[in-house]
């Protein structure tokens, strides 16, 4: 049985976030979706790491953008894992789970990032197994300008109805919202407009159960993969 939910950076509660072993753990738990973050190296390789610097998650120091891919792959996380490329993760997930590719630090810092990400998606032949999201809505606008077939989504903090006009303009299929701002009215609006709502990041068991009861159609993005799986299986049991 596929567990409908987004594995936030893989399974970071057990493995180093945004690493191949972390994503494999999510696949082993039958998660329907993986969520990951992309930054660019100095030589333009899309790599899977959340922060704009390598300081927090590796034994290196400095901005991701200061490293070439050859230099970056020598760094290690606390669990002795390497930073993967976007291509490596997409090939790992191909045919197994859909991937939410969140663009980090786009715009002026990473000129051409959107083109590079689309190149990787097409090289892996996973156009129908990914969607691209970002807090930087102009980056998503750029993705849409470059591609009409790749699904896109908008990441926001609050549940703001004003976002719907832009979502419609971009034909965005997803809106990702911090879960504490969800309301029944907002969920209903998304359903009416055919937009899949994603709630991030839900780790507390009580909140998980509330989500399942109040908003069963909302996809949950979580770090607590086994906890959410247990909640889903219990609430779907006959």
Q: What is the pLDDT along the chain (238 residues), one digit of tens a residue?
A: 789 999 999 999 999 999 999 999 999 999 999 999 999 999 999 999 999 999 999 999 999 999 999 999 999 999 999 999 999 999 999 999 999 999 996 556 778 999 999 999 999 999 999 999 999 999 999 999 999 999 999 999 999 899 999 999 999 999 999 999 999 999 999 999 999 999 999 999 999 999 999 999 999 999 999 999 999 999 886 6
How far apart are the C-alpha atoms of 231 and 7, rounded to whole Å? 15
- The token pair at 94 is 């191909």
**Pick the catalytic residue: 8, 33, 137, 207?**
8
Q: What is the CATH number of the domain that holds 135?
A: 3.20.20.190
How far apart are the C-alpha atoms of 93 and 112, rounded to whole Å? 25
Which residues constitute the domain of residue 167? 3-236
Prior bond to 128 cis, omega within 30? no
What confidence score (pLDDT) does residue 170 get? 97
Please state the domain count of the chain. Answer: 1
* 50 is an active site residue: yes
**Pick the catalytic residue: 33, 50, 137, 207?**
50
Q: Quick check: 18 and 48 in contact, CB under 8 A?
A: yes
* 8 is an active site residue: yes
pTM for the full predicted model: 0.97
In this structure, what DSSP letter does residue 81 have?
P
Instruction: With CA atoms as reference, report the closest residue to 174 among 201, 195, 199.
Output: 195
């Amino acid at each position: 049985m596929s567990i409908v939910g987004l594995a936030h950076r893989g399974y970071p509660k057990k493995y180093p976030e945004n690493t191949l072993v972390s994503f494999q753990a999510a696949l082993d738990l039958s998660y329907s979706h993986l969520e990951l973050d992309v930054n660019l190296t100095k030589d333009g390789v899309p790599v899977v790491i959340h922060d704009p610097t390598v300081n927090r998650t590796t034994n290196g120091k400095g901005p991701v953008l200061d490293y070439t891919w050859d230099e970056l792959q020598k760094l290690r996380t606390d669990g002795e894992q390497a930073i993967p490329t976007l291509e490596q993760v997409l090939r790992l997930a191909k045919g197994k789970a859909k991937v939410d590719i969140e663009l980090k630090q786009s715009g002026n810092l990473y000129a051409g990032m959107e083109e590079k990400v689309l190149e990787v998606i097409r090289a892996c032949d996973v156009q129908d197994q990914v969607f691209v999201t970002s807090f930087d809505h102009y980056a998503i606008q750029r993705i849409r300008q470059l591609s009409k077939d790749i699904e896109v989504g908008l990441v926001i903090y609050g549940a703001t109805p004003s976002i719907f006009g832009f979502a419609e303009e971009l034909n965005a299929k997803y809106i990702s919202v911090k879960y504490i701002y969800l309301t029944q009215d907002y969920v209903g609006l998304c359903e009416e407009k055919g937009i899949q709502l994603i709630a991030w990041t839900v780790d507390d068991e009580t909140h998980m159960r509330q989500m399942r009861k109040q908003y069963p159609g909302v996809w949950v993005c979580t770090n607590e993969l086994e906890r959410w799986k247990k909640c889903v299986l219990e609430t779907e049991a006959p």
